[in-house]
């Protein structure tokens, strides 16, 4: 079969400022929550590698952009650091403006469209200290930060993104201990989630009111929820997982309203959320122009077996995880590899979300110990990554051929990058980063990706 993709399809990779840039305490940048956490508890970070240097894109971006061009990219998504652009929340950092303008200009000069995200988990520490996304003042500060970004870079950027994976800081910070504030509190989680959404829609509103060129969207990590069986109890559990981890953001940003089940959950658990009808109208009237979708794994669930759970495990009342015996696993990451999930997402967007324009904003495979796959010349022979991309793209192509309005595919990631508490434990890049020297080395997958992007179709032989 000829897996040809639509004309002008976007091929590239995704990254983020905090994971790629480095320069954590230079160039006028203020402290983020990750800088603070590493200073406080470096032992929590794998091999005690902090966010100061990461992959040094701040100093090597010109060379890196040439590598992107050589790998066939026609697009690249990264993020602006809020703490770098507005260190004190008021004063624009001109060093940051010069850096980002030069990055975006260099990308364009090399035929690479920048897709620019405003927030990728890197809350400025001064705002975290005020309560982070639980504080409505932070919502207003985000709107102002978004407006400054539009004003400073709007002539160079035509596709904006407000948030990457907004559910992740909520899940990992308020129902887990992998992000700060590292608490287990459903009420605080729901309030932080609501204010995150409100920050998003206020940024969208500011974009529209300022008559900016281009489009604005959001990137969500969608994890299709599959029930253990056809029993009503299991299907209901899968629906709850879908509502809480997908539709809690997907419905408001595309349809303009929350799922009805969210109100049911709030009532069931006596959760008090601060909101106004005016804010709900703002949500209704500021839906996105396009959607980015990060897809790595599905969610397998079954009906809960526990009617009584403590407050830290409140979601277990609604669904519980289920291990599918036939699952194909990535043993390094502990995640199931289920390529058809990308097709199911494509059809769901087509049928239930106005067939909104969307693109795959992240899809990739993290592997620990890639050194063992090096050949004699030091090139990682990552055939497993090529197979992963090929299989997902085959299912994506099927979804597109059946009418889903997908306009691009971005791999996570361009270059092995710093990954929060896991640091460089799992490598995702098409290029390998040598930590000691900051040297960039092509992996086999980079050559494959170049052929993919050049021909706009899956390579038939490799």
Joined together, the tokens standing for residue 460 give 């038939």
Take residue 60 and report the two structure tokens written for it.
């090597």
- Given 113, 261, 336, 362, the catalytic residue: 362
End-to-end, the C-alpha distance of the chain in Å comes to 16
Rounded Cα–Cα distance for residues 327 and 333 (Å): 14
Nearest to 113 by CA among 70, 58, 158: 158
Residues near 280 by beta carbon (within 8 Å), at least 6 away in sequence: 257
- What tokens appear for 165 in the block? 């994976």
Backbone angles phi, psi at 330, to 5 degrees: -90, 105
Cα angle for residues 320, 366, 430 (degrees, 5° grid): 150
**Annotated active-site residue in 165, 171, 261, 339:** 165
Q: Which residues of 69-92 are buried (b: 16+ CB within 10 A; e: fewer)?
A: bebbbbbbbbbbbbbbbbbeeeee
- CA atoms of 217 and 200, how far apart (whole Å): 9
Separation CA 217–CA 221 (nearest Å)? 13
| 165 is an active site residue | yes
Spatial neighbors of 407 by CB under 8 A, at least 6 apart, are: 6, 8, 9, 10, 290, 357, 358, 359
Query: In what side-by-side order are the strands of the sheet with 225-227?
Result: 225-227, 299-302, 320-321
DSSP state string for 120-185: SS--BHHHHTTTGGG-HHHHHHHHHHHHHHHHHHTTT-SEEEEEE-THHHHHHHHBSSSSTT--B-
Is cis: bond before 347, omega within 30 of 0?
no
Report cis status (omega within 30 of 0) of the bond before 181: yes
Place of tokens 């480095």: 22
Give me the active site residues, please.
165, 362
């Amino acid at each position: 079969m000829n897996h040809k993709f639509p004309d002008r399809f976007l091929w590239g990779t995704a990254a983020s400022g905090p994971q790629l840039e480095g320069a954590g305490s230079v160039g006028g940048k203020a402290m983020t929550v990750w800088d603070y956490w590493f200073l406080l508890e470096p032992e929590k970070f794998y091999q005690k590698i902090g966010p100061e240097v990461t992959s040094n894109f701040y100093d090597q971006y010109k060379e890196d952009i040439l590598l992107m061009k050589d790998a066939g990219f026609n697009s690249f998504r990264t993020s602006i650091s809020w703490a770098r652009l507005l260190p004190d929340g008021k004063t624009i950092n001109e060093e940051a403006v010069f850096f980002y303008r030069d990055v975006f200009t260099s990308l364009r000069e090399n035929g690479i469209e920048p897709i620019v995200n405003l927030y990728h988990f890197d809350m400025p520490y001064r705002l975290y200290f005020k309560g982070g996304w639980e504080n409505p003042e932070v919502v207003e500060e985000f709107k102002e930060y978004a407006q400054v970004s539009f004003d400073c870079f709007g002539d160079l950027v035509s596709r904006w993104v407000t948030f990457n994976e907004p559910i992740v800081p909520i899940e990992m910070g308020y129902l887990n201990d992998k992000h700060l504030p590292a608490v287990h509190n459903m009420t605080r989680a729901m309030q932080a989630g609501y204010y995150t959404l409100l920050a998003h829609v206020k940024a969208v509103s500011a974009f529209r009111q300022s008559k900016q060129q281009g489009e604005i969207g959001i990137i969500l990590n969608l994890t299709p929820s599959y029930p253990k069986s056809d029993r009503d109890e299991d299907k209901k559990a899968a629906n709850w997982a879908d509502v809480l981890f997908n539709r809690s953001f997907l419905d408001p940003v595309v349809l303009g309203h929350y799922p009805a089940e969210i109100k049911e959950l709030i009532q069931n658990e006596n959760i008090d959320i601060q909101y106004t009808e005016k804010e709900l109208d703002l949500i209704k009237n500021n839906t996105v122009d396009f959607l980015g979708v990060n897809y790595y794994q599905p969610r397998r669930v079954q009906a809960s077996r526990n009617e009584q759970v403590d407050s830290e495990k409140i979601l277990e009342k609604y669904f519980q995880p289920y291990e599918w015996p036939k699952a194909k696993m990535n043993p390094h990451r502990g995640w199931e590899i289920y390529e058809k999930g990308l097709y199911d997402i494509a059809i769901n967007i087509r049928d239930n979300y106005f067939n909104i324009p969307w693109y795959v904003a992240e899809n990739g495979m993290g592997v620990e110990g890639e050194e063992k796959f090096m050949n004699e010349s030091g090139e990682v022979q990552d055939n497993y990554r090529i197979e992963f991309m090929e299989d997902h793209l085959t299912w994506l192509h099927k979804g597109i051929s059946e009418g889903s309005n997908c306009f691009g595919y971005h791999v996570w990631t361009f270059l092995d990058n710093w990954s929060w508490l896991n640091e460089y434990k799992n490598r995702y890049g098409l290029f390998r980063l040598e930590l000691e020297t900051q040297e960039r080395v092509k992996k086999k997958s980079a050559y494959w990706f170049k052929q993919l992007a050049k021909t706009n179709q899956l390579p038939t032989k490799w």
